[in-house]
Amino acid sequence: MLKMTHLAKVYRTEVVETYALRDFNIDVKEGEFVAVTGPSGSGKTTFLTIAGLLETFSGGQYHLDGIEVSQLNDNARSKIRNEKIGFIFQAFNLIPDLNVFDNVEVPLRYRGMKAAERKQRIMDALERVGLASRAKHYPAELSGGQQQRVAIARALAGSPRLLLADEPTGNLDTQMARGVMELLEEIHREGATIVMVTHDPELAARAQRNVHIIDGQVVDLAEDPRFHHAVHEARTGTPA
Partner 1 sequence: MPHIKPILAALKRHKAGTILIALQIALTLAIVCNALFIIQQRVTRLSRPTGMDESNLVAIQNRWVGVTDAAAAGVLTRADVLALRQMPGVQDAVQVNAFPLRGGGWSTGVRVDVDGKKPIAHTTQYFMDEHALATMGVKLIAGRNFRADEVVTTDPDKIQTSPQAIVSKALADKLYPDGSALGKPIYLGDDRTPSTVIGVVERLQVPWGAAWTDDFAENSVILPVQLTGNFSTYLIRAKPGQQAELVKAAPAMLTKLNRLRVITGDRGVRTFEVVREQAYKSDRGLAILMGVICLILLAITAAGIVGLTSFWVGQRRKQIGVRRALGATKHDILSYFLTENLMIGIAGVVIGALMAVGLNLWMVTQFEMARLSMAYVAAGVIALLLLGQAAVLAPAMRAAKVPPVEATRSV
Query: Which residue ranges make up the site for partner 1 (CB under 8 A)?
Result: 45, 48-49, 52-55, 74-75, 78-79, 81-83, 87, 89, 91, 93, 95-99, 102, 105-107, 109-111, 154, 166
CA distances from 138 to 116, 134, 135 (A): 22, 8, 8
Residue (53 or 218) nearer to partner 1, CB = 53
Those residues with Cβ within 8 angstroms of residue 141's Cβ, 6 or more apart along the chain or in another chain: 134
Residue (57 or 219) nearer to partner 1, CB = 57
We find the least distance from the C-beta atom of residue 45 to partner 1, in angstroms, to be: 6
We find the least distance from the C-beta atom of residue 10 to partner 1, in angstroms, to be: 15
We find the least distance from the C-beta atom of residue 240 to partner 1, in angstroms, to be: 29
Residue in 212, 186, 181 with CA at minimum distance from that of residue 199: 212
Strand partners, 165: 88, 196
Residue (55 or 185) nearer to partner 1, CB = 55
CB 148, CB 176: distance < 8 Å: yes
We find the least distance from the C-beta atom of residue 158 to partner 1, in angstroms, to be: 8
Residue (32 or 167) nearer to partner 1, CB = 167
Q: Give dist(CA 56, CA 70) in Å, integer.
A: 7
Q: Give dist(CA 222, CA 205) in Å, integer.
A: 16
Strand order in the sheet with 59-64: 17-28, 2-12, 59-64, 67-68
We find the least distance from the C-beta atom of residue 44 to partner 1, in angstroms, to be: 11
Residue (63 or 79) nearer to partner 1, CB = 79
Burial group, residue 125, by CB count within 10 angstroms (0-12, 13-18, 19+): buried
Residue (60 or 86) nearer to partner 1, CB = 86
We find the least distance from the C-beta atom of residue 77 to partner 1, in angstroms, to be: 8
Neighbours of 60 (CB within 10 A): 18
Amino acid 222 reads A
